[in-house]
Structure 1
Amino acid sequence: MTGSGQRGYDGGRRFYGGRPGSGGAYRGAGGKRSSAGRRRRRKKRVIKAVIAWAVCVVALVVVAAVTFHLAGYLTTSKIRQYRASGLEKLERGNYSEAIEDLDLALEKAGKRTGFKVDVLSYRAEAEYRLQDYDAAVYSYELLLEMEPRAPEYRYLQSLCYSQMGKTDQAIDAYQKGVLLEAKGELAPGKEQALMAAGGACVDNQEYDKAMKFYSEAIKDGMGDGQIYNQMGLCQVAEADYEGALDSFNQGYEILVTDYNLGSGVLPSQAAQALKEESDADYSLLKELTYNRAVAYEYLHQYDKALALLEEYVSVFGKDEDAQHEIGFLRSR
């Protein structure tokens, strides 16, 4: 019994590691595993730290990006609000207030060239309607800096100069616009600029210069009723009554045939169609009818002049000048 117990005790000692202090197999093996484990634990801690740092960096980048895009969105939203407010005021005729809002939109537009061109165009229009022609000319100059090959800005400058009575500048701006145009092109504002520049020449009694303008326009395919009417007025002023009658008649024919009314149609037949379609063309029909009658009178074709004036009154109503001419012609 005792021997069995001793063997059991010895076996226990052998199980726990052999001789005391010998650093038996268990201790030696256990020591190696402990060192490797510490290294693994340090490695894991480093990896976790790196991952945490990376997560923080990504989070910061995401926050910065969201903040940047949000700021950009808010800025874009704000400048579009200014633009929309400016256009609304422009439509209502509040031109000064429209310009203020459009200026705010331009200040915040940064490098958005397309947006700036759009807003500047509306600002120039508001300045023109406000009759601040110098400001409008400057706005169109800014537009030309961004779009130097756009002839319409030169034509619109020409309109401004014409309104200011600056005939030479109006002609110069118009001619610069023509040079920018591609062959066969008709840029917006060209015809209005032509008429305004020619009108400024007429106001200054520079009829030869005006006639040169109108003749060039006809060669370029712009010969509409209004241009021929303006030519006729210049010819009347120069006492070229035959030339004037020819111009008025050509203008009249172009106007009515544009409405498929046929050559030689009477004003009474043309008036209804034009009145329903275009107030501007109706007014031109009225003016050409009167001018043709006056040209006949200057050429001593009194019967034709009287017949046309009487029809003029029946279609367009009585006016003092027409009644005076009718009285004169009837007395003859």
Structure 2
Amino acid sequence: MTPTRKKPARKRASKKHAGRRKNGVKKTVPRSPQSILTQSRRSSICKARIRDDLLAVAGSNKGQPLSKSGRPAWKYSKFVMIPASNDEPFEENCFERDPIPEDYVFVPKGNVYVTRHCRSKTKESQRVVYLVYHSSGKRTLGIRVPSEIHSDVLQSAAATADSRANAVKVRDERDHTRYRQLLHTQFPLMPADSLEIVLDHAFLKGSGRVGRTTMKSDERKAALAVEAHIRHVHTPYESLLDDGMDRNEARKAVWGTVKAIKTAWEGGGSQTMDLLTLGSRMDVDSDTPEVVDLESPEESPEVIELDSAEEDELEI
């Protein structure tokens, strides 16, 4: 009878780690700074991928430009409402990043003749003019029109450039004469050099200043332009601003002097005041209260009105 071998006894676990397994405690090894940095990068990449996947599912990134990594750029993923289109026929709004329709071209702002004729001719052909907005939706960049219309308008602009320039020159000379007569009629005692300064500054074409606005009457534009000239040239207004005084307060402080000189130039008032007398009066001491308190500023609500953005156009 063959003797049977006994199976080797099962080794018992070392008592060294018995207590640790029993208590469920796991020994942790200190992590190196490199491993911590690697894990942080992995987490960031995972979060970015999840975010892009969610945006892709929602359709937010359709047509968006790509970043260097090949994923849609995050700054373009923000949802911006396009301004509502007006009631103009054959006119729609779009963003600059929207695909350009076939056979259309982008016409940037800047050339009034080209923009106006491209718009009108496109509508005459019963096709849509696309008004292009910046990605922020806050400002327009130009329009999109059919390419053949744009080409025709460019040819027309080149052919009529000389005649249009001559017409503009004639119109500018006519306006210049009219503004000069307006100032002379409204302020007959204004010195000739002051009249030329006001005419060349406030009524300068393309300056955007008060003399070129279409929102006020000619008489009102002339009055505002002359008041601004007096304030900057014949009062300590600039010095008050340099000393740190608020613009509102500075305008109120010199309003009495502005009104006195303006009245004298209009030929009104109880006594005649010429420019030299007023100039020497202002040069005595710009810090004296007599200069700034000639009259109460509350008598002229127009001083407060000039605190608007349009007053910045009157600066000399």
TM above 0.5: no
TM-score by length of 2: 0.21
* Rg larger in structure: 1
Which of 1 and 2 has higher RCO (CA within 8 Å, sep 6+)?
2
